Chain A
Amino acid sequence: MDRRTVLKGLAGAGGLALTGGLSAPAIAQGAAARTLRFVPQANLANFDPIWGTQYVVRNAAAMVWDTLYGIDSSLQPQRQMVESEEVTDDGTTWTFKLRPALKFHDGEPVLSKDVVASLTRWSARDPMGLMIKALQQELTAVDDRTFKWVLKQPFPKMLYALAKNNSPCCFIMPERIAQTDPFKQITDYVGSGPMKFAKGEWVPGAKAVFEKFADYQPRQEKASWLAGGKQMLLDRIEWIVMPDPATAAAALQNGEVDWWENPIADLVPVLKKNKNISVDIGDPLGNIGSFRMNHLFPPFNDVRARRAVLMALSQEDYMRAIVGDDTALWKPLPGFFTPNTPLYSEVGGEILKGKRDFDAAKKLLAESGYSGQPVTCLVAQDQPITKAQGDVTADLLKKLGMNVDFVATDWGTVGSRRAQKTPPGQGGWNMFHTWHAGADCINPAPYTAIRANGDKAWFGWPNSPGTEKEVTSWFEAKNLDEEKAAIGRLNKAALDDVVYVPTGFFLSYTAWRKNVSGITKAPLPFFWGVSKSA
């Protein structure tokens, strides 16, 4: 008998007297083994995957709502709720048929009218959805299991749009829920996926609980990311939010949680030493570090100033600042697209390769007309990745002889200030740091950061007609070879104009107790196929 047992016994006796005999419910060992305690990357503060596009919301929603198609590990769209589809020869009319016996969590069947309402809401918020909506002639339910999407022009990436795992995903909700204004939050979480959301147990910022949906009809194929048979081997999944990484590490070591989605690099060596814990790369698509320059104001409205920075920066400095000395976790990225994916390209990436040339960079900067004006650099200190990058950038700019106005602030402030188009001295900015999930950078469809259509582009508002032309070329490409060619040209154009600055590609770990099995490497944590032994 250890001290904890003695203490438990003594305090239990006292507790019985104080609480009138209330005691903890006995949890059978089997039930404990069917409950997975998971520490997510962030707090599930809201639960509307169309209204709130944060990754954590998408990750939770993937359990609760199913999709018409699902992207698999080879990045191909596969049928999910859909049984079959037909497209007319001119590519303008898509007719889809749902699988039979699909049910929502309230027991109601999934019908075409639910799908139509869900597609309508999704297409009002998603970048690809908006493109389809712009081409839409009609979207109608033909019968209970058939629906039709008629377009004015072909949209070759239709199935990819419906399958993609980039937020917002095209989740299917009951019509009454999907009719909610896409800019207002839903309050009813009846889903179509393999797990039900236990709304009554939700404590935003602390805990979210998901329970197995017994009537879910998984596909017969093997599960692969968002595609295939989503077989749930767990009865209950508890998401326990832990804002402090050291606490999460200790809880995992102590067996108080089973799976920690994203341990920080500093704590990984401790976890690796623990014989009860497995540590591996979580998301093979990783992340791309970046900083964006404001193309509207000096000095970075001149491409020579932007290229001067690119010529001098060392991606290794950035990557080591983010992930430490574990070289397995990062690689240089002379381009914008995710390494090890079909469209990865280094065309035009010479400027980021080889020895850094500060003399040439300084000369180019001087040619751009830079004369020592302050460069307002926004750095969110509450995000380790942006803080690390900001420190490296400040050092880099100083070495280039630039006058850095280092604005140390929080992510919330960066989020609103970066939207300001006023000059840097009047509440605006010159540069800010961020990062992009590699899954969002596999092609131009979900890749908002690569767009360079001026006022309509992402913050920094780059205007690069060459880049935009190749984005269009990719959308129109009819096969992989054409896509690859378009991406090569796009990569070069975007680097020539420095749409933004990629600071490197980095991976991160995930860690779990060894009694948990079935965890797959994927851009989001998938719980189907995961089991836990006692």
Chain B
Amino acid sequence: MLSYILRRIVATLPVMAIVALFVFSLLYIAPGDPAVVIAGDQASPEDVERIRQSLGLDRPFLVQFGSWVWRILHGDLGTSIFTNLPVSAMIGQRLGPTLSLMVVTLLLTIVVAVPLGVVAAWKAGSLIDRVIMGFAVFGFSLPVFVVGYMLAYIFALELEWLPVQGYTPLAQGFWPWLENLILPAIALGCVYIALVARITRAAMLEVLQQDYIRTAKAKGLGQGGILFIHALKNAAVPIVTVIGIGIALLIGGAVVTESVFAIPGLGRLTIDAILRRDYPVIQGIVLLFSFVYVLVNLMIDVVYTLVDPRIRY
């Protein structure tokens, strides 16, 4: 297992290299010029050119790419063109809020979606099943920002239970941390809950037709034991897979959610960097996200071996 994990980690290196080249090339050919944005509306073309030179943006593509790769290999993600701060420091500032949002959303999803899917499968065809699946369709259909605005209006403005926006680090207290994340996590989690609930239901329906379930029922096992010990464990592989895939959804959804709830996370940093053409920041974030994605896939593969003893690497 350990050698498998090591092999997979080593295999991420060419993936990251391809991502790096792709991102760098894309940004190089994309329209827009950070020097123009920095210089401001009143700047002369000469000013813009001087700024471009001072940023090294006038150098040939290969020189720029080579110098960027060299820095990456030395663990340096570069310096933001706009803030003059190290990209790693900027990512570090934003990691906490995004990680918090993703963890709370993930927990919320698992706690809500898996039992809903199990119950829907157990009561397949009933009103309960239809209500749950109706909710799933609803969750799929509503854009994150619409859910976000609705939640903020009801729970923050009307009921005044929760804040509209912002983020408080965990170090300043659990409740201040959590109260800022409840609404964003629900908004972000809606699609995810819908997806996981539907997959759980489908996987459970298949498992519940199996002979060993009939045997368990014949032995007189309780409904809870059958559903959550025998059936759910055997339905776990597709559920774990979709939870893993969903992390990519979370990364995408976090961009919108963080804007709606003014959470200073990586999603907002990404948008800001793209709009300003802050190349080093965009490159750093994309590299980070691709690394996280590869890592999540690896973790899912490892989890397979825990839920299904037949899988061995």
Write the residues of chain A forming the contact surface with B, with a CB cutoff of 8 angstroms.
2-4, 7-8, 11-12, 14-16, 18-19, 22-25, 43, 45-46, 48, 51-54, 125, 127, 167, 181, 183-185, 187, 203-207, 240-244, 246-248, 250-251, 253-254, 256, 382, 409-413, 415-417, 419, 434, 440, 446, 448, 456, 458
Set of chain B residues within 8 Å of A23, measured between Cβ atoms: 172-173
Q: Can you list 23 contacts pairing A with B, beta carbon distance less than 8 Å? A: A7-B175, A19-B170, A24-B176, A45-B272, A45-B276, A53-B39, A53-B41, A127-B42, A167-B42, A181-B54, A183-B47, A187-B84, A204-B82, A204-B272, A206-B93, A206-B262, A243-B262, A243-B268, A247-B152, A410-B275, A415-B33, A416-B33, A419-B33
Contact with A along B37-67 (1 / 0, CB 8 A): 1111111110110110010000000000000
Contact between chains at B165 and A18 (CB < 8 Å): no
The residue from B32, B39, B264 contacting A413, defined by CB atoms under 8 A apart: B32
Contact between chains at B40 and A53 (CB < 8 Å): yes
Set of chain A residues within 8 Å of B38, measured between Cβ atoms: 46, 51-52
| A52 to B83 alpha-carbon distance, docked (Å) | 10
| A206 to B266 alpha-carbon distance, docked (Å) | 11
Residue of B nearest to A4 (CB): B161
Set of chain A residues within 8 Å of B272, measured between Cβ atoms: 43, 45, 204-205, 243
Known: A2-B160, A19-B171, A25-B172. 5 other contacts (CB 8 A): A3-B159, A8-B175, A22-B173, A53-B40, A205-B264
| A391 to B277 alpha-carbon distance, docked (Å) | 25
Contact A250-B164, Cβ < 8 Å, known A24-B173, A167-B42: yes
Contact A16-B172, Cβ < 8 Å, known A205-B272, A247-B165, A254-B164: no
| A413 to B30 alpha-carbon distance, docked (Å) | 9
Q: Report the contact-size class of chain B (Cβ under 8 Å from the partner).
A: 35 or more
Q: SS class of chain B's interface: helix, strand, loop or mixed? A: helix
Set of chain A residues within 8 Å of B159, measured between Cβ atoms: 3
Set of chain B residues within 8 Å of A251, measured between Cβ atoms: 164-166, 262
| A533 to B44 alpha-carbon distance, docked (Å) | 46
The residue from A12, A16, A253 contacting B157, defined by CB atoms under 8 A apart: A253
Contact between chains at B40 and A22 (CB < 8 Å): no
Residue of A nearest to B174 (CB): A15
Set of chain A residues within 8 Å of B164, measured between Cβ atoms: 247, 250-251, 254, 256
Set of chain B residues within 8 Å of A248, measured between Cβ atoms: 262
Set of chain B residues within 8 Å of A446, measured between Cβ atoms: 42
Contact between chains at A204 and B85 (CB < 8 Å): yes
Contact between chains at A4 and B162 (CB < 8 Å): yes
The residue from A11, A205, A246 contacting B178, defined by CB atoms under 8 A apart: A11
**Residue among A4, A14, A412, A413 with the most chain B CB within 10 A?**
A412
Contact between chains at B50 and A415 (CB < 8 Å): no
Contact between chains at A412 and B32 (CB < 8 Å): yes
The residue from A15, A51, A247, A440 contacting B260, defined by CB atoms under 8 A apart: A247
Contact A205-B269, Cβ < 8 Å, known A4-B161, A419-B48: yes
| A448 to B19 alpha-carbon distance, docked (Å) | 42
Contact between chains at B33 and A4 (CB < 8 Å): no
Q: Does B31 contact A (CB under 8 A)?
A: yes
Contact A205-B173, Cβ < 8 Å, known A46-B84, A412-B275: no
Contact between chains at A254 and B271 (CB < 8 Å): no
Contact between chains at B85 and A11 (CB < 8 Å): no
| A415 to B178 alpha-carbon distance, docked (Å) | 41
Set of chain A residues within 8 Å of B83, measured between Cβ atoms: 45-46, 204
Residue of B nearest to A246 (CB): B149
Contact between chains at B32 and A416 (CB < 8 Å): yes
Contact between chains at A412 and B40 (CB < 8 Å): no
Q: Does B23 contact A (CB under 8 A)?
A: no
| A167 to B277 alpha-carbon distance, docked (Å) | 22
Residue of B nearest to A46 (CB): B82
CB of A1, distance to nearest CB on chain B (Å): 13
Q: Does B153 contact A (CB under 8 A)?
A: yes
